[in-house]
Amino acid sequence: MTNISGILLSDVTALKLFNTTNVVGKTVKWSLKDAVADFSNVYTITGIFKAPPTNATNQFDVLFPFDLYANKMAGGMGDITFWGSNMVSTYLLLKPKTNIAAFNNKIKNYTKAKVGTLYAGKGLEQYEGELFMQKYSDRYLYNNFENGIQSGGRIDYVKLFSAIAIFILIIACINFMNLSTAKASRRMKEVGIKKVVGASRSSLIFQYISESTMTALLSLMLSLLIVILLLPAFKEITGKQIVLQFNTNFILSAIAITITTGLIAGSYPAFYLSGFKPVSILKGKLKTSAGESWIRKGLVVFQFSVSVILIVAVLIVYQQMKLIQTTNLGYNKDNVIRFTNDGNLPQNLSSFITELKNIPGVVNASDLTGDLMGHYSHEGGGIGWQGKDPNLHIEYYGNAADVGFFETMNLQMAEGRTFSKEFADSSSVIFNQSAIAAMGLRNPVGKTVSLWGEKKQIIGVVKDYHYQSLYTKIGPAFFTFSNNNPTTVVKIKAGTQQQTIAAIKALYKRYNDGLDFAYSFLDDDYNKLYASEERVAALSKYFAGIAIIISCLGLFGLAAFTAQKRQKEIGIRKVIGASVSNVVAMLSKDFLVLVCMALLIATPVAWWITNKWLQSFAYRIHISPLIFVITAAVVVLITLLTISFQSIKAAIANPVKSLRTE
């Protein structure tokens, strides 16, 4: 697009505005003005594009020519034609089979060379980083970088939940193995007779594996029904629009996973059952080996170890989320709304904010560029001052703010003053404490700095505040003054939100008749920074619950089998005077030992996994031993409740009936 007065609309937007997509050649009036540039104009629609899907990383309705943006931003700190500018993203369409590593190496120092050539002697080349390229399809999942190297991101959660799903499936397989081998005595005569009449071991193995595979296939059909029923709830939990598509890939993958599960679950029982000797079976002399018993116990330990790890993870994620909600951010985000200054507001912002402050229920109001959650109006290292070490490089993040912003957000000053109508603050700057410490300035108020070529006087030092998520430590930051910013923030008196917002909406409509009043609460926007973590917390609870339930079902079955196997022993003990509590303790002891072994194995593993997750946060909880104590208590209690029914049932049974059983 070479015509800077032409724009592209999405098909969805065209339908909203004109009730048709046949709009090429029509015009739209666009109103957008901020402190840097005025984009208000009448634009001609030169084309229509298909709107991005709802799950796309980038969402947009209108496309403007890049040359228009460059022209409007030319001059001043917003100049995107400067080779060191990082205000825009660059997208490349590479030729097929391009070697990405070689290409990255080729462009590595490209902007450094440009800056060094065009701005030699100005010291700007030291601020320029190295270029590298990332596949567009990887941007969402592989979104974390350290020193230009990809270091995880959302893909870590995909891997995490995939691993949890696999472990839960393994737990289910373990239950099948345990219960099949534990109840093998019921099939001994069947195996013996089949072998006597000529059945080979391979045919028996095939029979038992077929049985487990058929069970898995029946489970697949049942699980698909459950997935269809629970999908709406899962969408709500994850906040994703997930569609269950029964295409070829899905069907083949589901069948492959199911058959693999059937083979894994049925393999050990099949080889175990088919290995019985017919003579020993028919004579009733078959005995369980110590090795078989240890395998069964080892499987129980494994599945409870997984459950313990999941319980610990749930508790630690919950505590970290609680820390996020209660951390002092250095400002007050409660009862603050924000909205974009669209339409006629940029031309009348001062009077609009004055009227805002007069609305009953409005505590204060102001405007800013960027926000306090990772978006800035200034970014980089081009700040100098008298006596600065030429080798010192500091990266700053800055926002432009109006009079009253510090008071609206309850940002606290360490020294000096905030922006005021009583002073001409267009050449003023306020640094945070971390910036002053990094710069090594003493008594900074009143000193002059060069901010990207502009002289600014330091009028105050604000106490450190979190201008990003808790993943990042507080670093050097500053505020410059601007009285025409794109975002308005309003502090509302607690308990008056409904009527106050209604009055603000009415005022907004008076300035912008025909435009919708779209606002958001700052605390809601803050919570969205941790949407992924909140989903992890919610999903972890469900996964942990499923793992515990499956483990307990297996334990319940084993307890029933153990009680049945030892019923004569229990009868004899009761005849010679054993109490119900003695019998329950005897039956529970072995299982509690296995659970305690699981706790000993799982505790260090759980600590390592959760500690690694916490390392991604600059501000995080310390893992308390109390978490592991609580987990141990919960697991032991669940174990006792699971096996108590079978233990008590066996303990109160009539010993006469037990001793008569053949």
Residues 648, 580: contact at Cβ < 8 Å?
yes
Please say if the pLDDT value at position 653 is more than 70: no
Span 652-657, average pLDDT: 63
- Three-state DSSP at 384 gives strand
Is there a domain that residue 530 lies in?
A: no
Is there a domain that residue 347 lies in?
A: yes
pLDDT of residue 662: 47
Span 115-133, average pLDDT: 62
Span 512-529, average pLDDT: 87
**What share of the chain has pLDDT > 70, as a percent?**
83
Q: Which residue range(s) make up the domain with 403?
A: 343-514
- Angle subtended at Cα 322 by Cα 638 and Cα 407, rounded to the nearest 5 degrees: 165
Q: How confident is the model at residue 567 (pLDDT cuts 50, 70, 90)?
A: low
Tokens encoding 70:
């460059």
pLDDT of residue 299: 75
Q: Between 435 and 4, where is the model more confident? A: 435
Is there a domain that residue 314 lies in?
A: no
Please say if the pLDDT value at position 27 is more than 80: yes
Tokens encoding 66:
């890049």
- Three-state DSSP at 133 gives coil
Q: Give the contacts of 340 (CB within 8 A, at least 6 positions apart).
A: 486, 487, 488, 518
Residues 47, 65: contact at Cβ < 8 Å?
no
pLDDT of residue 608: 93
Is there a domain that residue 200 lies in?
A: no
Q: How confident is the model at residue 650 (pLDDT cuts 50, 70, 90)?
A: low
The last residue of one of the domains, among 32, 61, 92, is 92
The last residue of one of the domains, among 69, 92, 115, is 92
Residues 440, 383: contact at Cβ < 8 Å?
no
Start-end of H helices in 22-147: 66-73, 100-107, 110-118
Q: How many CB atoms lie within 10 A of CB 59?
A: 11
Q: Give the contacts of 583 (CB within 8 A, at least 6 positions apart).
A: 570, 573, 574, 647, 650, 651
Q: How many CB atoms lie within 10 A of CB 589?
A: 9
Is there a domain that residue 14 lies in?
A: yes
pLDDT of residue 500: 94
- Three-state DSSP at 416 gives strand
Is there a domain that residue 556 lies in?
A: no
Please say if the pLDDT value at position 84 is more than 70: no
> How far is C-alpha 143 from the geometric centre of its chain's CA atoms?
12
247-284 per-position pLDDT tens digit = 888 889 889 988 888 888 788 777 776 766 666 655 55
Question: Which is it for the CA torsion 306, 312, 315, 321, positive or negative?
Answer: negative
| Secondary structure string (H, E, C) spanning 628-646 | HHHHHHHHHHHHHHHHHHH
- Number of independent structural domains in the chain: 2
Span 455-466, average pLDDT: 93
Question: Alpha carbon of 165 to those of 397, 543, 544, 608: distances in Å?
Answer: 41, 8, 10, 20
| Consecutive H or E run containing 296 | helix 290-326
Q: How confident is the model at residue 521 (pLDDT cuts 50, 70, 90)?
A: very high
Among 529-543, 567-581, 617-631, 639-653, top mean pLDDT goes to 617-631
* Residue 603, phi then psi, degrees to nearest 5: -60, -50
CA 518/CA 535 separation, integer angstroms: 26
**What share of the chain has pLDDT > 90, as a percent?**
24
The last residue of one of the domains, among 499, 514, 529, is 514
* Residue 212, phi then psi, degrees to nearest 5: -70, -35
- Angle subtended at Cα 199 by Cα 256 and Cα 291, rounded to the nearest 5 degrees: 70
Is there a domain that residue 101 lies in?
A: no
Q: What pTM value is reported for the model? A: 0.69
14-26 per-position pLDDT tens digit = 998 899 989 999 9
Question: Alpha carbon of 398 to those of 328, 484, 494: distances in Å?
Answer: 20, 16, 30
180-208 per-position pLDDT tens digit = 766 655 666 677 777 777 778 788 788 87
Please say if the pLDDT value at position 444 is more than 50: yes
CA 292/CA 405 separation, integer angstroms: 72
Q: Give the contacts of 467 (CB within 8 A, at least 6 positions apart).
A: 372, 373, 374, 376, 397, 399, 474, 477
pLDDT of residue 113: 76
Q: Between 188 and 334, where is the model more confident? A: 334
Question: Concatenated DSSP letters for 19-46?
Answer: SSS--TT-EEEE--B-SS-B--EEEEEE
339-360 per-position pLDDT tens digit = 988 878 888 889 999 999 999 9
pLDDT of residue 368: 92
Is there a domain that residue 401 lies in?
A: yes
CA 622/CA 135 separation, integer angstroms: 36
Ranges of beta strands (E only) in 121-241 are 145-146, 149-150
Strand-pairing partners, residue 431, are 461, 478
Q: Between 467 and 648, where is the model more confident? A: 467
pLDDT of residue 76: 47
CA 549/CA 172 separation, integer angstroms: 10
Q: Give the contacts of 238 (CB within 8 A, at least 6 positions apart).
A: 535, 539
CA 165/CA 640 separation, integer angstroms: 26
294-321 per-position pLDDT tens digit = 776 777 788 888 888 888 888 888 888 8
pLDDT of residue 151: 64
| Consecutive H or E run containing 62 | strand 62-63
| Secondary structure string (H, E, C) spanning 589-609 | HHHHHHHHHHHHHHHHHHHHH
